[in-house]
């Protein structure tokens, strides 16, 4: 650390509630060369004051004791100087309650502010300016698109229009994907059924000077990481090698296998029972039929088959029904449905089909039966009339089957964590690391320690299902798009492809500048591992939510910084505590924990440490202050990148120091998780299973530790959660280590 300066704001009520002079004295004790107080530090005058000190007085390490680091981050950016924000506003003067039982409630608020200032000062003292990761290797901003259907071609075209070179790989001999079988398409808002305009899209792609197209080709190997991906493509006996920066994965979908459909649909018993896909492939819209029935949700929204709605089958059936009416206006065309889903402007299309004479019948469990004469009958109960209904003499029945993402096919290759070497078991046994479902579907063939393809979320869809982050996958720089992300019609696929292309561009731009991508966008730090002390326990390589770490043959982790999202989960996992970031480390947080003064037992001022995930819990704590709700002045909050970065040694540090209790505030986990780093809060919970061992070793009660799931909207619950925990600590009594 070079020249340290501390700036204390006395605005926003800070000067009224706090003894600013005492804070200045503390700053001087920590050898701050400059200590300044300003009535509104965020004003242009306040900012100018700091800028001058950086420019003219050589200040390069700055503590700003003012508002939350979540606000004014652009105003208080003095890079390359390192800045530490001490949150005296939202998490001290706006949120702590004067304690009526104490003679001088201000004393507690002041102690809190002083502790936070000391924590900030010690943290800054351990920080090095982050430098970013720029390898001594050629970095590429080219984009690989896997899949030459509507989505893949659109993504390629969008990226090329933005000035990026694209390599497009299609496994079939011709571009077009499923849409090349489709003759007509509906327009939205509905104006009619028009010829499929796919040929124009193909023409645009093949004539672009920026897009290299391989057809009849597959990606046989993908090594490296974003901006450093080395890709091998097999095409007609030749192998093509490309270095690319990011990947859009758009291999599309396959129809649900009709052979697996329930008996009730009579598939395979008559060649007049076809699927919606076969209808297109066989060009049945151009043939003249007299009596046709469409059966919706054939196998869809059925827990035994496809539990989800494929969203497009209703529209496809409407289009096919209208096509049949156009070919033969006298045809009787029925659509038998459980629910008809025509969202948004597609409702017009439904009305148009009604006007054309298509007959809609709502029936939950229609049955298709072949008569002795060979014609087909559909039977069921009409939901609206409550009567049996029978549609006879059908010369065609079309089953609306759903979409299965191409990523759902292939062998499940990762069902349990790999065996750890016996030598490494010491601290890692009995920790069941959650395992992603990864299938060897042969789309990307990633040479990653954690498996060859993107992990699934559900039903084979690889979207990471980040609540806030569409398009993200669990592999940095790889963006699933189109029907592998969710079932969608072509109109949505165009937009989805443009979105994925944008994400790929963001990734190559950030990573080529040494920065992290979402959700710690712009972060320049990355994990460094002191390998001399590594025991090859494989915890980091197993637990990294993004598959960022490979392994050498001995089991040592090999960092791949361009794949890293900077979550710190590996740092939390490492029992040897040898993984750290330039500005975030086990030592840094441990030192913050130890820096505060713990009052003696007879002072009856308990101390509770809250580790709060910076993504949801920390902002929720800020919200408590913003809403002027109150919680105990006895808590001390430390924000973590993710609860998954919590190293168990910090709990031991806190309890040995004399904190009476420790709370962990993290995101919800489970299948519908909200954890920004996928598994961070889940891993923290699993690690907590080890904590009872630590507590027993220290002869402490398990009630002293609590994990709470806090989402950003949970701020209203926080005061009660803290109050209840304070009561528990009161009941359990003071930590016996307090006075040692
Ligand atoms: S666990 Fe997080 S910080 Fe560590 S390597 Fe993986 S992505 Fe990077
Ligand atoms: S770096 Fe740490 S967590 Fe990773 S294998 Fe080595 S000892 Fe284990």
How do residues 71-104 score in pLDDT, each as one tens digit? 999 999 998 899 999 999 999 999 986 644 444 5
Is residue 667 within 8 Å of 680, Cβ to Cβ?
yes
Burial 191-228 (b: 16+ CB within 10 A, else e): eebeebebeebbebbeebebbbbbbebbbebbebbbbb
Of the ranges 34-43, 373-382, 690-699, which is most confident?
34-43
Cα of 286 vs its chain's centroid, Å: 45
Of 436, 448, 475, 544, the one to substitute when testing ligand 1's pocket (max ligand atoms within 8 A of C-beta) is 544
List the helix and strand counts (H, then E) for the chain: 18, 34
- For 407-459, write each residue's pLDDT tens digit: 999 888 876 555 555 544 554 445 667 778 888 999 999 999 999 999 987 88
In angstroms, what is the span from residue 581 Cα to ligand 1's centroid?
10
Phi, psi at 10, each rounded to 5°: -110, 10
Task: Look at 471 and 611; give whichever has higher pLDDT.
Answer: 611
Is 386 exposed, middle or buried (CB count within 10 Å of its CB: 0-12, 13-18, 19+)? exposed
Give the whole-angstrom CA distance, residue 323 versus residue 328.
Answer: 9
In angstroms, what is the span from residue 664 Cα to ligand 2's centroid?
24
Q: What is the DSSP letter of 356?
A: T
Of 566, 580, 613, 643, the one to substitute when testing ligand 1's pocket (max ligand atoms within 8 A of C-beta) is 566
Give the whole-angstrom CA distance, residue 553 versus residue 542.
Answer: 15
Is 423 exposed, middle or buried (CB count within 10 Å of its CB: 0-12, 13-18, 19+)? exposed
Structure tokens belonging to residue 281: 């492939």
Which H helix or E strand runs over 498? helix 490-511
What pTM, to 2 d.p., does this model score? 0.92
Partners of residue 709 on adjacent β-strands: 666
pLDDT of 628 over the 60 cut: yes
What is the residue with the minimal CA distance to atom 7 of ligand 2?
534
In angstroms, what is the span from residue 503 Cα to ligand 1's centroid?
20
CA distances from 138 to 225, 244, 328, 731 (A): 12, 10, 62, 62
Degrees to nearest 5, angle at CA 471 with 470 and 475: 125
CB neighbours of residue 233 within 10 Å: 21
Give the whole-angstrom CA distance, residue 191 versus residue 704.
Answer: 66
Looking at all shown ligands, the one closest to residue 581's CA atom is 1
Phi, psi at 727, each rounded to 5°: -65, -40
Q: What is the DSSP letter of 67?
A: S
Atom in ligand 2 nearest the alpha carbon of residue 573 = 3
In angstroms, what is the span from residue 436 Cα to ligand 1's centroid?
16
Give the whole-angstrom CA distance, residue 540 versus residue 559.
Answer: 10
pLDDT of 141 over the 60 cut: yes
Q: Cα(first)–Cα(last) distance of the chain, in Å?
A: 32
Of the ranges 281-285, 608-612, 706-710, which is most confident?
608-612
Structure tokens belonging to residue 228: 């450093």
Of 418, 532, 537, 573, the one to substitute when testing ligand 2's pocket (max ligand atoms within 8 A of C-beta) is 537
In angstroms, what is the span from residue 539 Cα to ligand 2's centroid?
6
Cβ of 536 below 6 Å from ligand 2: yes
Residues near 459 by Cβ (< 8 Å), separated by ≥ 6? 306, 307, 308, 405, 408
* Domains, in order of start, for the chain: 1-129 (3.40.50.450), 143-254+405-413+431-511 (3.50.50.60), 257-401 (3.50.50.60)
Is residue 709 within 8 Å of 693, Cβ to Cβ?
no
Which H helix or E strand runs over 248? strand 246-249
Of 550, 570, 642, the one to substitute when testing ligand 1's pocket (max ligand atoms within 8 A of C-beta) is 570
Indicate the pLDDT class of residue 731, thresholds 50, 70 and 90: very high
Structure tokens belonging to residue 710: 């806090």
What confidence score (pLDDT) does residue 106 get?
84
Partners of residue 168 on adjacent β-strands: 145, 213
Of the ranges 16-20, 409-413, 498-502, which is most confident?
498-502
What is the residue with the minimal CA distance to atom 1 of ligand 2?
534
Cβ of 565 below 6 Å from ligand 1: yes
What confidence score (pLDDT) does residue 464 get?
66
Spatial strand order of the sheet with 359-362 comes to: 273-275, 396-399, 291-295, 332-337, 359-362
Cα of 417 vs its chain's centroid, Å: 22
Cβ of 586 below 6 Å from ligand 2: no
| Beta strands per DSSP E along 347-427 | 359-362, 367-370, 376-382, 387-394, 396-399, 403-405, 411-414
What is the residue with the minimal CA distance to atom 2 of ligand 2?
574
Atom in ligand 2 nearest the alpha carbon of residue 533 = 7
The pLDDT of 187-210, averaged and rounded, is 91
What confidence score (pLDDT) does residue 677 get?
85
What confidence score (pLDDT) does residue 426 get?
52
In angstroms, what is the span from residue 577 Cα to ligand 1's centroid?
14
Indicate the pLDDT class of residue 678, thresholds 50, 70 and 90: confident
The pLDDT of 637-647, averaged and rounded, is 95
Give the whole-angstrom CA distance, residue 670 versus residue 457.
Answer: 11
Looking at all shown ligands, the one closest to residue 543's CA atom is 1
Cβ of 548 below 6 Å from ligand 1: yes
What is the residue with the minimal CA distance to atom 4 of ligand 2?
540
pLDDT of 732 over the 60 cut: yes
Atom in ligand 2 nearest the alpha carbon of residue 539 = 3
- For 2-16, write each residue's pLDDT tens digit: 799 999 999 999 999
CB neighbours of residue 373 within 10 Å: 6
Cβ of 516 below 6 Å from ligand 1: no
Structure tokens belonging to residue 58: 């050589």
pLDDT of 342 over the 60 cut: yes
| Beta strands per DSSP E along 537-623 | 549-551, 557-559, 579-580, 608-613
**Strand 359-362 to strand 332-337: parallel, antiparallel, or no bridges (unpaired)?**
parallel
The pLDDT of 287-297, averaged and rounded, is 97
The pLDDT of 221-245, averaged and rounded, is 97
Indicate the pLDDT class of residue 506, thresholds 50, 70 and 90: very high
Cβ of 529 below 6 Å from ligand 2: yes
What stretches of 271-424 show up as alpha helix (H) in DSSP? 276-281, 313-327, 346-355
Structure tokens belonging to residue 350: 């439904």
Atom in ligand 1 nearest the alpha carbon of residue 559 = 5
- Closest to 396 measured CA to CA, from 344, 492, 328: 328
Partners of residue 144 on adjacent β-strands: 167, 247
Q: SS3 of 275, please?
A: strand
What is the residue with the minimal CA distance to atom 8 of ligand 2?
537
In angstroms, what is the span from residue 678 Cα to ligand 1's centroid?
12
């Amino acid at each position: 650390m070079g020249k340290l300066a501390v700036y204390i704001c006395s605005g926003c009520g800070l000067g009224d509630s706090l003894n600013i002079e005492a804070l200045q004295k503390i700053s001087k004790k920590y050898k701050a060369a400059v200590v300044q107080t300003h009535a509104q530090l965020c004003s242009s005058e306040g900012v100018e004051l700091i800028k001058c000190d950086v420019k003219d007085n050589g200040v390069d390490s700055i503590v700003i004791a003012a508002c939350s680091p979540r606000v004014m981050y652009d105003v208080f950016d003095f890079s390359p100087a390192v800045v530490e924000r001490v949150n005296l506003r939202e998490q001290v003067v706006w949120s702590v309650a004067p304690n009526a039982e104490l003679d001088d409630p201000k004393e507690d608020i002041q102690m809190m502010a002083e502790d936070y200032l000391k924590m900030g000062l010690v943290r800054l003292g351990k920080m090095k300016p982050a430098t970013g990761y720029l390898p001594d290797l050629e970095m590429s901003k080219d984009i690989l698109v896997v899949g030459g259907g509507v989505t893949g071609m659109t993504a390629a075209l969008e990226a090329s229009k933005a000035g990026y070179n694209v390599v497009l790989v299609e496994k079939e001999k011709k571009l077009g994907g499923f849409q090349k079988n489709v003759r007509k398409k509906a327009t939205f808002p509905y104006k009619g059924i028009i010829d499929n305009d796919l040929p124009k899209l193909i023409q645009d792609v093949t004539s672009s000077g920026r897009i290299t197209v391989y057809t009849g080709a597959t990606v046989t190997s993908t090594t490296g990481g974003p901006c450093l991906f080395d890709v091998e493509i097999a095409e007609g006996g030749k192998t093509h090698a490309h270095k690319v920066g990011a990947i859009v994965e758009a291999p599309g979908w396959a129809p649900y296998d009709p052979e697996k459909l329930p008996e009730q649909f009579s598939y395979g018993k008559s060649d007049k029972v076809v699927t919606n896909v076969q209808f297109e492939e066989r060009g049945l819209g151009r043939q003249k039929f007299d009596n046709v029935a469409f059966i919706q949700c054939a196998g869809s929204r059925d827990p035994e088959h496809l539990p989800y709605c494929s969203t497009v089958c209703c529209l496809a059936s409407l289009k096919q029904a209208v096509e049949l009416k156009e070919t033969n206006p006298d045809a009787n065309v029925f659509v038998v449905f459980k629910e008809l889903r025509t969202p948004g402007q597609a409702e017009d299309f439904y009305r148009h089909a009604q006007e054309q004479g298509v007959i809609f019948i709502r029936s939950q469990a229609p049955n298709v039966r072949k008569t002795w004469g060979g014609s087909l009958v559909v039977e069921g109960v009409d939901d609206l009339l409550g009567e049996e209904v029978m549609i006879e003499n059908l010369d065609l029945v079309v089953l609306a089957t759903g979409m299965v993402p191409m990523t759902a096919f292939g062998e499940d290759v990762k069902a349990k964590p790999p065996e750890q070497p016996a030598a490494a078991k010491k601290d890692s046994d009995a920790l069941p690391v959650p395992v992603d479902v990864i299938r060897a579907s042969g789309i990307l063939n990633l040479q990653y320690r954690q498996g060859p393809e993107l992990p699934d979320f559900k039903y084979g869809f690889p979207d990471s299902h980040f609540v806030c982050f569409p398009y993200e996958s669990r592999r940095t720089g790889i963006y699933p798009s189109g029907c592998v992300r969710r079932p969608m019609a072509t109109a949505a696929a165009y937009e989805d492809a443009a979105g994925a292309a944008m994400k790929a561009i963001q990734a190559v731009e950030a990573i080529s500048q040494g920065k992290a991508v979402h959700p710690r966008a712009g972060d320049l730090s990355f994990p460094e591992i002191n390998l001399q002390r590594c025991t090859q326990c494989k915890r980091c390589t197993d637990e990294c939510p993004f598959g960022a770490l490979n392994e050498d043959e001995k089991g040592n982790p090999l960092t791949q910084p361009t794949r890293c999202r900077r979550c710190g989960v590996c740092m939390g996992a490492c029992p040897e505590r040898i993984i750290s970031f330039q500005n975030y480390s086990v030592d840094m947080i441990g030192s913050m924990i130890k820096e505060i003064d713990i009052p003696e037992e007879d002072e009856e001022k308990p101390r509770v440490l809250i580790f709060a995930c910076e993504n949801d819990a920390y902002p929720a704590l800020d919200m408590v202050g913003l809403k002027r709700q109150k919680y105990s002045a006895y808590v001390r909050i430390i924000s973590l990148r993710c609860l998954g970065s919590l190293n168990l040694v910090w709990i031991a540090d806190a309890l040995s120091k004399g904190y009476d209790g420790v709370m962990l505030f993290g995101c919800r986990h489970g299948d519908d998780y909200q954890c920004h780093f996928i598994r961070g809060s889940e891993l923290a919970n699993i690690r907590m299973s080890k904590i009872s061992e630590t507590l027993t070793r220290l002869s402490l009660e398990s009630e002293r530790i609590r994990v709470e799931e806090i989402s950003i909207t949970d701020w209203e619950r926080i005061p009660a959660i803290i109050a209840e925990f304070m009561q528990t600590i009161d009941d359990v009594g003071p930590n016996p280590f307090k006075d040692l």
